[in-house]
Amino acid sequence: MKASKSGSPRQKMVRLIALILCVLLIATTIGYALMTIASAEENAPGIQLSLTVEEAAGGVHASQAVFFSNDTGGPIGEILFQIPANSLRRRTTVPSDGKRVSMLYGENGFSFGGVSISSVLVDGRKALWGVSGEGETTLHVIADLPEGARCRIQIEYDILLPASSGFLGMNGSEWRLAGCFPVLGVYDPSLETTDVMEPGPVGEWLYADETDMEISLSIPGNMTVAAGGTLSEEEEEGRKNVRILLTEARDFACVIGNGYTAASDEGLRACAPVQEEADRMLGIAKKALNVFRGWIGETPGETTAFAACDVPDGTRVYSRMVFIDRNLLRAGNGESLEREIVTGLAKQYFSIRVNNHPQREAWLGEAIPAYMTLLYYEEVYGKDRFLKELNDCCLDALNQTIPGGIGVDSDISLIASEEEYRVIMQGRGAAVLHEIRQVTGKDAFLEAIRLYYENACGKHGTIADFSAALNQAAGREMDYYLMEMLRNIGDYVNQQMEWYE
């Protein structure tokens, strides 16, 4: 009896069932793999950054992945980024006034720096992109995204470091990397637009949402990285591979150089050319952190680093990173070093973790850290030292005439120079807070500071947030008095004070 070529009905059924099971297994495997990939992307840091330092070329190659969610409430056609470093492409757009530009570039004069983008991908596909603004500091990436959609943006670029003492630059074996990594603009629902800050001649420009970051650096084996966050490193074929994790950060900055030593303790890291100097910086930072933690109840996040480097125009503050002028390590500059470290740590709380609009509400990120520094002196050294520091900070500011009737809460576009900015936002701003403290009492004032931080940490703090905290802590309406001081603290000018108390 001959067997049928196609088999019996039973055999056909068995093969059909086996085929169905095989298809289901393949579909399940593919579905699980896709879910795993989607879950991995969903839980991935908001920014993944890979940097390769090319010492001979004097530059850095960067590959940056950004995960973006359209939370604007409607469809969008482009995604905006801020690239402050591109303001260094030409002398006329360097974000410093004339005096500081000469200081930054020294005898050799201006040198070109910035970011050169080679490609942009959105979800793996080549995307159209362009830059705008006088300094080419706004990056536009074309992407049609419906409400709630999420995408992955991959940006390849090279960073050219100018020979300067600015936030981005090199001096000998020291490389400062800041403001050169594209940062997403901030969507403002009240204006239904995305706000991208363009660096100007005065003030700060960091305005970004918080996200987690994972950074990997490949550097020559003779170099060391000074950075905040959680660091790990391994050596491979004459190079160091450094991995940095930052949580709840708004940007990333680091210093790379030869001969850095570090001292770490209690969520702080100090980096300097000599171990003794690093230990001294760490001691100051620990003292300040203990004071601030007592008032606010917590630290400003995982490890904050302080790096002594070539920034003679003043301390610069980034997420978990503070650049300190290395000249302050010299003998005789101890008081200035302490002041800059304390202020830098205060800004981690009230300029970084509580971020404010640096043009419309700059005083929040300047006056509060300035007055917290004064309160630190009162806490650690007593009233007499506090009064000395108060007068050093505020007296000249109150005795100077500022043209145009500019108030502490004015838009910084009205301010003519960096010196004027510091007089108004820091000197007069600290005086405003001191006047408020005199009305509420110290304990209620510190409670207002704590409440403001508690309610605005991780967000963009506003005058309304600060006023609400002040009202709650004082147990009465303080809005009118706050606005009166912000607008009219300059009335002290007519008194020509010799001592402010």
pTM for the whole structure: 0.89
Residue 168 lies in a domain: yes
Spatial neighbors of 492 by CB under 8 A, at least 6 apart, are 398, 399, 431, 500
Q: Give pLDDT, residue 3.
A: 43
Q: Give pLDDT, residue 2.
A: 43
Residues (pLDDT < 70) of the chain are 1-7, 9-16, 18-44, 492-501
- Calpha distance 22→25 (Å, rounded): 5
Domain with 196 in it: what CATH number? 2.60.40
Residue 370 lies in a domain: yes
Q: Give pLDDT, residue 332.
A: 84
- For the record, the structure tokens of 368 come out as 């509060």
- Per-residue pLDDT tens digits for 252-296: 999 999 878 999 998 999 999 999 999 999 999 999 999 999 999
Residue 71, CB-side half-sphere exposure with 13 Å CA sphere: 10
Domain with 457 in it: what CATH number? 1.10.390.10
Picking from 209, 232, 252, the residue at the C-terminal end of a domain is 209
**Do the beta carbons of residue 207 and residue 351 sit within 8 Å?**
no
Residue 460 lies in a domain: yes
Q: Quote the number of domains for the chain.
A: 2
- Per-residue pLDDT tens digits for 408-434: 999 999 998 889 999 999 999 999 999
Q: Give pLDDT, residue 36.
A: 38
Q: Give pLDDT, residue 1.
A: 42
Q: Give pLDDT, residue 228.
A: 97
Q: Give pLDDT, residue 362.
A: 96
- Calpha distance 462→453 (Å, rounded): 11
Residue 235 lies in a domain: no
Q: Give pLDDT, residue 306.
A: 98
- Calpha distance 343→327 (Å, rounded): 17
> Strand order of the sheet with strand 316-318?
261-265, 268-272, 304-309, 321-325, 316-318
Q: Give pLDDT, residue 21.
A: 65
- Calpha distance 483→454 (Å, rounded): 22
Picking from 151, 175, 209, the residue at the C-terminal end of a domain is 209
Residue 416 domain boundaries: 362-495
- Calpha distance 228→450 (Å, rounded): 24
Q: Give pLDDT, residue 25.
A: 61
The beta strands (E) that lie in 104-238 are given as 114-122, 125-126, 129-132, 138-145, 150-160, 169-171, 174-177, 183-184, 186-188, 193-195, 211-220, 224-226, 230-236
Q: Give pLDDT, residue 420.
A: 92
- Calpha distance 439→309 (Å, rounded): 41
Residue 5 lies in a domain: no
Residue 230 lies in a domain: no
Using DSSP bridges, classify how beta strands 230-236 and 114-122 pair: parallel, antiparallel or unpaired. Answer: unpaired
Residue 324 lies in a domain: no
- Per-residue pLDDT tens digits for 16-71: 676 666 655 665 544 544 443 444 455 568 999 999 998 877 789 999 999 999 99
Q: Give pLDDT, residue 328.
A: 94
Picking from 169, 190, 209, the residue at the C-terminal end of a domain is 209
- Calpha distance 451→373 (Å, rounded): 18
Residue 315 lies in a domain: no
116 bridge partner residues = 158
